[in-house]
Chain A
Amino acid sequence: GAVVSQHPSWVICKSGTSVKIECRSLDFQATTMFWYRQFPKQSLMLMATSNEGSKATYEQGVEKDKFLINHASLTLSTLTVTSAHPEDSSFYICSASSTGWDYNEQFFGPGTRLTVL
């Protein structure tokens, strides 16, 4: 299957700082990338969908000024959590998909665990 990487795997930061998470497709061109957040024992929550070269589409209730998404190339998308607060502590997961695949399946990165003190 396709490989998606995320960096960093985990990060601890102070309240009020900004954190950038990178998501890369390693062996394919990702026309669409998705950013999810998952709290313990809860389902994946889609935050936003981004297509290369265009602005991300945010889900209802997700603040676009707080969660900045950039999909600058077909292999890289970044999520920046600005002015992070303890309630932003969560498991952030990206996934990638490519047009032309038979199934429209999404392949997931390993996730980034964010802890805001």
Chain B
Amino acid sequence: GQNIDQPTEMTATEGAIVQINCTYQTSGFNGLFWYQQHAGEAPTFLSYNVLDGLEEKGRFSSFLSRSKGYSYLLLKELQMKDSASYLCAPMDSNYQLIWGAGTKLIIKP
């Protein structure tokens, strides 16, 4: 079957760094997306990895290891507005995104 494993909830302090891990199993693989979803809103695109390694985009970086079925999202210089759910979504061989429940990130002052 296809599944995603992320921590349900994480807490971090404003200004700090946090890493959200994701392991996945899919039928085929066409890259992995990270989305941010604030409560009551739709997801917004953060990053995409299809090759192994680190992709950096401002305060956010995403890493992928295809052989390990593993990815992480790294958030630096945390701000209160980063409080949201972070969704790891690999794309399977049919180009369908596989969604888990996401990680709820709580930022404290």
Residues of A whose CB lies within 8 Å of any CB of B are 1, 41-46, 49, 91, 93, 95, 103-111, 113
Contact = CB atoms under 8 A, between A and B. Distances in A.
A109 B44 CA distance: 9
B102 interface: yes
Contacts of A45: 99
A46 B48 contact: no
Interface string B84-109: 00010001000111011110000000
Nearest to B43: A108
Contacts of B87: 43-44
A103 to B, nearest CB: 5
Interface residues of B, number: 20
Given A43-B101, A43-B102, A104 B95 contact: yes
Given A43-B100, A44-B99, A105 B33 contact: yes
Nearest to A46: B96
A99 to B, nearest CB: 10
Binding site of B, secondary structure by majority: helix, strand, loop or mixed?
Answer: loop
Contacts of A105: 33, 45, 48
A42 B101 contact: yes
Given A104-B30, A104-B31, A105-B48, A93 B42 contact: yes
A93 B41 CA distance: 9
Given A41-B101, A42-B101, A109 B96 contact: no
Given A108-B42, A110-B42, A111-B42, A103 B48 contact: yes
A1 B101 contact: no
Nearest to A91: B40
B43 A110 contact: no
Contact of B45 (A42, A107, A113): A107
A95 B87 CA distance: 15
Contacts of B101: 41-43
Interface string B43-57: 111001010000000
Contacts of A1: 45
